[in-house]
Amino acid sequence: MTSRPDLPVPIEALPNPRGGSVRLAEMALTDALHAFQRQGETGAALKRAIAALHSAGWLPGQRFAEALALVAPLGDESEGSHARIAEAIAVFRGAVERHNLRELSCSTGLFDHYRGLHALLAAHTRVAPVSYDDLALAGRAIAPATLRGIAPERLAHLRAHYEATLLKLLRGSAEESANAFARLDTCLDELRGSDPYDFWRLASSTVRALRERAERSGGALDHIADAKRLYARFNLVLADQAHALTYAPRSLVRATLALLWRDFALYGAAPEDTEHVDVLRDYGLTVAWHVAATPASEAAWEAGAAQASEEASRDAATRDLGVLRVNAAAYEDFLQSAETSIDALVERGTQASETGTVDEAAALSAADASHRLGAAACALGLGHVALLADTLGLAWRRVAHHGETHADGAEGATRGIDATVPERAAQMLRSMLHQAAAGIAPSEGRGSIVALTAMIEKPALVAR
């Protein structure tokens, strides 16, 4: 975690100086905080913030603001409750003002406040427990994670070895834990299948990434604790696999994926993280290739970001896209880069729809174009565009990895897909970009996301 003297609260992610701002939400949250501190009415201000964040497509932020609206009336119950809610509003307002959509999704600090708000609610009403992925993966489709068939005798041996090693990890010393990690990783490697959506591929990547981040951070105990909890939960999946289940529990897939994405979303990725980034891309999640690896480099980046932000506010023209105000230069750069990506996507979708087939390379090319568009939209603050582009990229990757081969054995060709779904989604994306180019707030694209989600989450055939 990093901090800056000009900010009232510590932050995890770096500000996004070229990102769009939702001024209506920022002002509404400021009004809500002032009203709450005076024990006044906050409902109207928080409703304005929720509406603005929804319009911008900042869905995790919208979800956090909705929790604030539910909990704010409880602030007069005790000094402790009042202080907790006031701090949550202040921290959230600061995050919204940094214009970093990945921080709004993946900040552990924000999630701690979100969980605290739900704990206050739980004292008065029955609410479902919240988990980290509730914010991190809000609105996102999740591809099913497969469990391949393994001979019962071999699986029983692996499971017994895993359980024995897990006990040593949970009960042993730090030195014993290091040995246990290595032995558990060996078990995960033996369990892993060739399917890109094999659960053990995701599981192995996540626990390794957590431990690598802990090493970079000087042995961060929270990352090690997260890894240990995951290893323990994986033992339950082994029991499912022993009972011939073909898919890992969706809740665990979401939790595991969110933890893998967390640090890369907040801090960026380095070249040595390529394998982890490939796993994330297969699940429709993108990262920035930037790392603030040392306090010195982080301070330098923050100084540059602050200067860029100041110059942008002083010199650069802005454009309003509904509630989103964007830097004019960043807006023009986005439109130029998006044009190439959307043309490629529409062309791929049309070809697939007309022929009913698409080869793996073409599908992966379409997925990469979608991911580039999604990442650029996320950086600018176009939440609805980013979510649809990421979902379309995931759909194309599912086509590439799980399409059925031609009956005549044509190498690399796939069929058995409803190609009109990604085609219509690409056309919707183009329409949203045309709206942005005309200075109009892009529509939600909800219908396309629902159709793509049904396509993505449909279980594929699993050979056992």
- pLDDT of amino acid 73: 92
Structural domain contains residue 141:
no
Q: What is the pTM (predicted TM-score) of this model?
A: 0.89
Q: What's the mean per-residue pLDDT of the chain?
A: 87
Q: Are residues 247 and 158 in the same domain?
A: yes
Which segment of 91-100, 110-119, 123-132, 307-316 scores lowest on mean pLDDT? 307-316
- pLDDT of amino acid 405: 32
Structural domain contains residue 123:
yes
Q: What tokens appear for 373 in the block? A: 């568009």
| Residue at which a domain ends, from 130, 163, 194 | 130
Structural domain contains residue 144:
no
Q: Are residues 71 and 168 in the same domain?
A: no
- pLDDT of amino acid 461: 60
Judge whether 57 and 22 are in contact, CB under 8 Å: no
Q: Are residues 192 and 70 in the same domain?
A: no
- pLDDT of amino acid 159: 95
State the total domains in the chain.
3
Q: Are residues 63 and 111 in the same domain?
A: yes
Q: Are residues 248 and 336 in the same domain?
A: no
Q: Which domain holds residue 238?
A: 152-282
- In the chain, % of residues over pLDDT 70: 86
Judge whether 9 and 90 are in contact, CB under 8 Å: yes
Structural domain contains residue 399:
yes
Phi, psi of 216 (to 5 degrees): -65, -30
Q: Are residues 177 and 277 in the same domain?
A: yes
Helix axes 174-191, 152-171, angle to 10 degrees: 160
Structural domain contains residue 241:
yes
Q: Are residues 262 and 374 in the same domain?
A: no
Q: Are residues 174 and 235 in the same domain?
A: yes
Phi, psi of 421 (to 5 degrees): -65, -55
The mean pLDDT value for 208-215 works out to 92
Of residues 283 and 79, the one with the higher pLDDT is 283
Structural domain contains residue 167:
yes
- In the chain, % of residues over pLDDT 90: 67
| Residue at which a domain ends, from 130, 161, 182 | 130
- pLDDT of amino acid 290: 67
Q: Are residues 437 and 373 in the same domain?
A: yes
- pLDDT of amino acid 412: 42
Of residues 287 and 175, the one with the higher pLDDT is 287
- 17 torsion bin: left (phi>0), alpha (psi -120 to 50), beta (else): alpha
Which of 385, 390, 374, 399 has the alpha carbon at shortest distance from 430?
A: 385
* pLDDT per position as a tens digit, 212-225: 998 887 766 788 99
Of residues 333 and 409, the one with the higher pLDDT is 333
Q: Are residues 59 and 160 in the same domain?
A: no
The mean pLDDT value for 300-316 works out to 58
Structural domain contains residue 306:
no
- pLDDT of amino acid 311: 56
The mean pLDDT value for 270-297 works out to 82
* pLDDT per position as a tens digit, 404-437: 433 333 444 444 556 788 889 999 999 999 999 9
Q: Are residues 181 and 88 in the same domain?
A: no
Structural domain contains residue 4:
no
- pLDDT of amino acid 341: 86
- pLDDT of amino acid 430: 94
The mean pLDDT value for 366-381 works out to 94
Q: Are residues 121 and 160 in the same domain?
A: no
CA distance 88 to 104: 13
**319, β-bridge pairs:** 326
| Residue at which a domain ends, from 282, 299, 329 | 282
Q: What tokens appear for 370 in the block? A: 């979608």
Judge whether 293 and 270 are in contact, CB under 8 Å: yes
The mean pLDDT value for 334-363 works out to 81
- pLDDT of amino acid 158: 95
- pLDDT of amino acid 310: 60
